[in-house]
Homo-oligomer: A and B are copies of this chain.
Amino acid sequence: MCNHHTGDTGHSCSCTPSGRMLGFIQPWLLLLLSEESAHGYELLDKLNQNEDTQGVDPGFLYRTLRQFEEDGLLRSSWDVEGRGPARRVYEITPDGIEYLHAWADHIRSTRERLGRLLDTHESRFKSQTTKERR
């Protein structure tokens, strides 16, 4: 268990060290790229502007993009214009769009399963306030 919950130290739980759900960043990446093409650093910025997706490890991001390209979900090309070093610009493919929608379906069902867990929890402890339960 992690210390999000009780303040204890050094345990393990369902959250990553950064408190984020596993596999949560990838669909956001595809979603951002479905809006407009972008390079890695740019995506890193955008993710950091969203509370839900802050603190992504750059190494993880770049590796994920390369993997997506290998899987045919993205295409890339070099942008040498503008300042600074060349940027690898990623563009989403039709397969990528399709995968994004399939991912959304999967996330929807995950969300429903979380709902069923929470409902069971709530009905188990109904008629008790948060204080009374403790």
Contacts and interface: CB of A to CB of B under 8 A. Distances in A.
A124 B31 contact: yes
Interface string A56-73: 000000000001000100
Interface residues on chain A, size class: 35 or more
B14 A23 contact: yes
A81 interface: no
- The number of times this chain is found in the oligomer is 2
A116 B53 CA distance: 11
Contacts of A8: 71
Contact of A134 (B101, B116, B120, B124): B101
Interface of A: 1, 4-6, 8, 11-15, 21-24, 26-28, 31, 34-35, 52, 67, 71, 94-95, 97-108, 110-111, 113-118, 120-121, 124-125, 130, 133-134
Given A52-B117, A110-B114, A111-B115, 17 more contacts: A1-B99, A5-B103, A11-B71, A14-B23, A14-B24, A14-B106, A15-B110, A21-B22, A22-B23, A28-B117, A31-B117, A52-B113, A97-B133, A101-B134, A104-B121, A111-B118, A114-B114
